[in-house]
Structure 1
């Protein structure tokens, strides 16, 4: 009887330990170091980059043409919010002819952690109450010097 209880306790503890392990998740472009290293400035063009790396995650809409390949890995312990463990952005810039000008890679050094400021959104301007917002313009509409007729 005691051996059965020990086995049940060990199995229960094992279930708790595996249930409390963190959840890992990869998002975005899955980086293949060999393929990324094969993109060479001055040699490759848009077509060869797309054949090698696939379609980019984002492309620039204004300014010089840039393709972005973005990837991140997160981990989440039970009952917590996910945290970014690894983040990578590969930015490939093209010249006017469509050839690769530069291929730059950044990582966690460019990640910014933002903390929302509670339930209120900070705004510029005056801090007015609800009554001031409702009745603040009484008497100013059509007042002399405001251009109203």
Structure 2
């Protein structure tokens, strides 16, 4: 949760595409216009003040985007941990089924042993697929400010 001082004013208007375009043009104008040599550049001062007065919605939008990115990264991290947990559980089940297969085979119940071997193969395939999913998930990144 952000500090209340970082929140936009209650009456802040949303950052519209038109406002963003206007600010981009202003930044470009600041860089490209003829700067007077040896005197005060009132054009730059006025344009910078004008743009600064309109920055509130843009900064609020950036805060929202940062918060949404942090939320998405946390959700991805939870998903990564859950997939890893299920994969570990699948591997454990695979080992237990193989142990049960070996027990049935030792008892002379070859039919059940073959059935358990097929089940173990399916569980192993699921664990491998979960490993592939984990390999495709992006690595966690630290969110700035967290």
- TM-score in terms of structure 1 length: 0.24
Report the structure, 1 or 2, having the larger helix content. 2
CA radius of gyration, larger in: 2
Between 1 and 2, higher relative CO (CA 8 Å, sep ≥ 6) is seen in 2
